[in-house]
Chain A
Amino acid sequence: MPELRFPITGQDHVIGSADAPVTLVEYGDYQCPHCQAAWPEVEAVLRRFGRNLRYAYRHFPIATVHPLAKPAAETAEFAGAHGLFWEMHSAIYANGHQLSGPTLAALASGLGLDVAALGDALERGSYAAKVDSDLLGGIRSGVNGTPCFFVNGRRHDGPYEAAALSAAIEAARTDAESRVVGIVSE
Chain B
Amino acid sequence: MGEILRPGAKAPDFDAPVTPDQKLALSEFRGRRVILAFYPADWSPVCGDQMSLYNLVLPEFRKYGAELLGISADGAWCHQAYAKANQLHFPLIADFHPKGEIARSYGAYRDSDGVAERALFIVDESGHIAWSHLSPIAVNPGADGILDALERMPRLEAVNA
- Chain A residues within 8 Å of B, Cβ to Cβ: 2, 29, 32-35, 62-65, 135-136, 139-146, 157
In the docked arrangement, what's the CA distance between A143 and B144, Å? 8
Minimal beta-carbon separation of B50 from chain A (angstroms): 8
A143 touches B142 (CB 8 A): yes
Given A33-B47, A139-B60, A65:B52 Cβ within 8 A: yes
Given A65-B86, A136-B60, A144:B47 Cβ within 8 A: no
How many B residues touch the partner, as a band? 20 to 34
Q: Which residues of chain B are within 8 angstroms of A64 by Cβ–Cβ distance?
A: 52, 55-56, 86-88
Q: Is B140 part of the binding interface, using a Cβ–Cβ cutoff of 8 Å? A: yes
Q: Which 3 A-B pairs give the minimum distances between C-beta atoms? A: A145-B48, A144-B142, A144-B140
Minimal beta-carbon separation of A94 from chain B (angstroms): 19
Q: List 21 A-B contacts (CB under 8 A).
A: A32-B47, A34-B47, A35-B47, A62-B52, A63-B56, A64-B52, A64-B56, A65-B49, A135-B56, A139-B53, A139-B56, A139-B60, A139-B147, A140-B147, A142-B142, A142-B145, A144-B139, A144-B140, A144-B141, A144-B143, A146-B48
Chain A CB count within 10 A is highest, among B47, B60, B143, for B47
Contact with A along B144-156 (1 / 0, CB 8 A): 1101000000000
